[in-house]
Chain A
Amino acid sequence: MKKTLLTFLAATLFGGSVWASGYQVLLQSNRSTAMGNIGVGLRPDPSSINFNPGALAMMRGNGIQVGANLIYSGIAYQPFGSDEVSYADNPVGTPFHAFAAFGAEESPLKFGLGVYTPYGSTVVWEDGWEGQFNLKQLSLTAIFVQPTISYRISEQLSVGAGFIYSFGGVNLQRNIDLPMADGTYSNVEFDGKAAGFGYNLGLYFVPNEKLSVGLNYRSRINMEVEEGEASFNRPAAAAGQIPASTTFSSSLPLPSYLTIGATFRPTEKFMIGLDISRAGWGAYESLRFDFGDPVNGADFTEEERNYETAYTYKFGAEYQVAEAFKLRAGAYYDETAVQDGYLTPETPDANALGLTAGFGLNIGESLAIDGSVLYIDKEQRDNVSVFDDGLSGTFKSVALIPGLTLTYKF
């Protein structure tokens, strides 16, 4: 019992799949998403606030952009030596993004404000599944607010910087291996608000009409939970060991994200692009929780994570079918940050292939609609857990994510 009580707390709170590199889908512009999520080297639009603040200064005029995506995702898990497959039947996730960029005409300065949700997901495993003591459900939102300034140094080169304030909430529920009199299990719900700060830097270079190159660095952000609440539904008999509720604090690094990319236009109607990103997941070594009141005699828990730096290779293309209509397609390959043995139901991560397609439609001079669909296929992955109470079995995740973005230019 003791062991169980101690370790159930040590599992990921923020180590949710949303943070894992594979799910770090940058759904901040359906134009980018449609092209394998390339972004840093693209011709600027308001979403450059996120992808490359450096490019913003090159944007013509002002613009407002709003969009959203629908994440349909599922996870399957099959323990070794068993035919039984458990599924996470996740509710539809709805990340959104809104960007506004403006600057005086002919001014080399552009100002922007972005509000977007780069991380946000809900994982809901079926009742009584094999990993119920690891995770029943996880719901996480993180909203980034990013005021940005971008400066055009020359016709070829511009730079930009944004300050990120990130805030959000987390809710994690899991069962505890302490059966209660009615036959159900004890459970715990962690609920907390998290916030952090960071910055976003960019450089944009347009050597000629056909080529544009970008570099973007988004800093690591430590999401801090200060006054989270852990509520325990446990037998009265365990009241001496487990409080009904206690505060908790934790800190989780959102990794730094470095991207270099370029787009090339062989013809006026055709564009191809490539981005390579490096996510600094090495910062995520362990997950520690400190409790306000001791839980089963411990005032903190810690479990190792040992994530590794992961690269993502993105490729996309766009073809202008008609004056006001473009078709787009792309793909990316996303390396997992999670080592063998460290998979958890929150992060059933694996190397992933993303396939994308979409369109861009201009309606008049000032309005544009971009649509995309992204299909993420994670490699089926066997996990022999390094944790005593971890899950050893096969994970498989897929996601289908359609989305639309509206852009108004003025």
Chain B
Amino acid sequence: MLYLNKYIKNSLYAASLLGVTAACDPEIDRPAPDFEVANGDADFSVYVALGNSLTSGYASSALNREGQINSYPAIIAEKMDYITPDFSFNQPLVPEGEATGTILLTGLTPEGLPVLNRVTNGIPQESYYAPVEGPFNNLGVPGAKVGDLTLAGYGSAQGNPYYARFASNPMATVVGDAIALNPTFFTLWIGNNDVLGYATTGGEGTITPVGEFEAAYTEIINQLVAANPEIEGALANIPSVSEIPYFQTVAWNRFALDAAQAAAINGAVKGRIEPAVQAGVDSVAKTQVIRAVIEAGTRQRIEAEARPLVANGVATQIVYQQAFQGAKQQNLSDAEAKAYADNYITTQEGKGKISQLSNALLNNQAPAEAQEAFETALDNQVEKVFNSDDIQNQMDAAYNAAINNMNNLEAVLGAQGAAAVEANFNSPEVVALREAGFNDQISQLKAAGYYPTFAAGPNGFVVDEPQSPTGLRQLNENDLVTFTVSAAPASEFNPTAGDITIPGKYVLDVQEQENVSQAIEGYNQIIAEIALENTFALVDMNGFFNEIVDGGITVAGTTFTNAFITGNAFSLDGVHLTQKGYALVAQRFIDEINEFYGSDIPDPNIRNYPAVKLP
């Protein structure tokens, strides 16, 4: 609607005798705000917004003109304009239309689930990325990490195509382009991508180390402050990512199966895991049996060899003692008795006795005492020989040869040894042990999620897990599944064709979540410190989004939660916000700026901004 200016209007009043139409045009007479007072301790004359996709107005996986027009910096600027003379705010708008890749909600399945499609034939690349002439106040660059804002060449063909569109020259930096506007006020919301790429790819990307983050963030601030020591601004911190719809829409157990499917998959998994576990248990059992057989055989051989020698030695010892004791009883001295005994055992008679006793020992017919001495001596001897390095080395060699030739043990252990192994392996004791070992392993695997099981209804997804003994891991309630899994191609997930695992990039496990939250905590500490040091306003987006995901907040009759589509806050990519969500962010910035600088930027009307468009 066009409004006549006051002069023309008054003329019309005068000209119109009846005055009918003019007289019933109501006019609101409200004094303009006092700019000085409304700006508070800040000066909003030249406002620049620095940041990433969130700052650019990116939503539903694309940067579109509509989103740019209602980006949070644009909403803030519109309200700054009301209290600031000669205010202007320019944005690097993309052409009208929809960018290729924009996610659209095109319908609902009969079950009421959203049907999402991407724009495939959107604005042609050459016009979408065609350079636009600045300068621009909104310098939000989709994809930018903290270090990118001061990176020369970021606007070149090798840099970021979103920035290349509007960079003042290919070697310009984002912060440099901001400084060129001589800003009096800035907002900075950067760092999300320093952890988001890692999180959204289930830990496959990288997290900017906190130290690096600090250096890069400090550099941005230093450059801004160096250019204008009087500059004021607001720094927003990084919301946690685990509660965004991207991770909250598909539950860990959203692998739905009917009874027949579950049975089929259980069968397949069993076929994949159990024979392998059985084989592993058997293999270990067999090596143990082999070792035992080799050792038993070795002992047998040593004993066979040692037996006559030991018998002879023991017999000699006994005969000698008898001779010695006999001489003593003849009242001979010890020396004389010893000489007698020494001689006796070399005599025919002595030798005969020794031989006789020896034979008795070997045939277990010797007197009990002698027989016992013999057994003890024999055991000691066998043990000594068995433990000798030579014998041990021989056995090791035989064992290694055997386990390297399990299929032809006869060649290594001989027919008897091979038969002994086989008999032992299949003995009831060993069979029971093998079974117990198998059961033990299976239950351990199941407990660790490494042996997935399925039932009719919802089941935990299964992920390829290199550290799992089975190569599989079934998710539990602590795992976060990315929203993108619902669009995983058949090459990655195809349960009906037997491919029941999803790639790890769709899962943010507990350790990865911990990595993410530690990084965010570190970043936010740095942002808070830098805000404090420079006396800039700190916008606690983290706390704010925690409120949204933790029960939701209601503003202007709209309730914002992290629910996908119906939560109003998040766009169809589950990460970026709706225009209504961005209006809420603008409101949050404005609240904090007004609080910190004593300014009076008006509130945006949240209701003026749409949430997700519904089919």
Contacts and interface: CB of A to CB of B under 8 A. Distances in A.
Interface stretch (A39-47, A274-282, A391-399): A391-399
A74 B30 CA distance: 18
Contact of B3 (A1, A7, A85): A85
B26 A74 contact: yes
A4 interface: yes
B29 interface: yes
A389 B559 CA distance: 11
Given A3-B554, A7-B557, A81-B82, A400 B28 contact: no
Interface stretch (B15-23, B318-326, B349-357): B15-23
Contact of A74 (B24, B29, B81, B612): B24
Contact of B613 (A4, A75, A180): A180
Nearest to A85: B28
Interface stretch (B102-110, B514-522, B537-545): B102-110
B105 A389 contact: no
A195 interface: no
A4 B557 contact: yes
A186 to B, nearest CB: 8
Interface in A4-55: 4, 7
A75 B557 contact: no
Nearest to B108: A237
Interface in A34-93: 72-83, 85, 87, 89
Contacts, number: 120
B21 A72 contact: yes
B175 to A, nearest CB: 31
A75 B26 contact: yes
A396 B612 contact: no
Contact of A72 (B3, B20, B559): B20
Contacts of A389: 556-558, 607
B607 A87 contact: no
Contacts of A238: 614
B27 interface: yes
A236 to B, nearest CB: 6
A1 B559 contact: yes
A375 interface: yes
B299 interface: no
A4 B558 contact: yes
B275 to A, nearest CB: 49
B566 interface: yes
A82 B568 CA distance: 24
A81 B79 contact: yes
A380 B23 contact: no
Contacts of B108: 236-237
A228 to B, nearest CB: 24
A133 interface: yes
B98 to A, nearest CB: 11
Contacts of A82: 79, 82, 602, 605
Contacts of B602: 80-82
A374 to B, nearest CB: 11
A308 interface: no
Contacts of A89: 1
Contacts of A76: 25-28
Given A3-B558, A81-B603, A402-B20, A87 B26 contact: yes
Contact of A181 (B23, B82, B615): B615
Nearest to A238: B614
Contacts of A380: 28-30
B608 interface: yes
Interface in B578-615: 601-603, 605, 607-608, 610-615
Contact of B614 (A7, A79, A237, A375): A237
A354 B535 CA distance: 56
Given A177-B607, A388-B554, A388-B556, A237 B28 contact: no
A35 to B, nearest CB: 20
B613 A179 contact: yes
B112 interface: yes
Contact of A3 (B19, B559, B611): B559
Contacts of A243: none
Given A4-B558, A237-B615, A396 B1 contact: no
Interface residues of A, number: 48
Interface string B558-570: 1100000010100
A92 to B, nearest CB: 9
Nearest to A7: B557
Contacts of A402: 20
A375 B1 CA distance: 25
A181 B102 CA distance: 13
A364 interface: no
Contact of A130 (B25, B27, B30, B608): B608
A2 B557 CA distance: 9
A181 B26 contact: no
B613 A183 contact: yes
A259 to B, nearest CB: 27
Nearest to A134: B607
A126 interface: yes
A1 B568 contact: yes
Contact of B20 (A77, A181, A235, A400): A400
Contact of B82 (A3, A7, A83): A83
A397 B26 CA distance: 6
A183 B557 CA distance: 20
Nearest to A235: B614
Given A2-B559, A177-B558, A181-B615, A237 B105 contact: yes
A181 B104 contact: yes
A226 B106 CA distance: 38
B30 A78 contact: yes
A79 to B, nearest CB: 6
Contacts of B23: 72, 375, 398, 400
Nearest to A178: B614
Contact of B27 (A72, A180, A181, A396): A396
Interface in A106-132: 126, 130
Count chain A CB atoms within 10 A of each CB in B26, B108, B612 and give the residue with the most.
B26
A3 B552 CA distance: 12
Contacts of A83: 81-82
Interface string B42-84: 0000000000000000000000000000000000000101100
Contacts of A183: 610, 613
B112 A133 contact: no
A40 B512 CA distance: 83
A228 B178 CA distance: 58
Given A3-B554, A74-B25, A400 B19 contact: yes
A169 B390 CA distance: 113
B28 A396 contact: yes
A312 to B, nearest CB: 21
B24 A79 contact: no
Nearest to A127: B1
Nearest to A73: B24
A235 B105 CA distance: 11
Interface in A151-205: 177-183, 185
A76 B29 CA distance: 11
Contacts of B605: 79, 82, 130
A389 B568 CA distance: 15
Interface string B158-176: 0000000000000000000
Contacts of B28: 76-78, 85, 380, 394, 396
A389 B1 CA distance: 25
B1 A87 contact: yes
13 contacts: A77-B28, A81-B603, A85-B3, A126-B1, A177-B611, A179-B610, A181-B614, A182-B613, A183-B613, A236-B614, A389-B556, A389-B607, A400-B19
Given A89-B1, A402-B20, 13 more contacts: A3-B554, A75-B26, A76-B25, A76-B28, A80-B602, A177-B607, A181-B104, A183-B613, A237-B614, A240-B112, A380-B29, A389-B556, A389-B557
Report the 10 A-B pairs with minimum CB-CB distance, sorted nearest first.
A81-B602, A389-B557, A235-B614, A76-B26, A179-B610, A388-B557, A396-B26, A237-B614, A72-B24, A179-B613
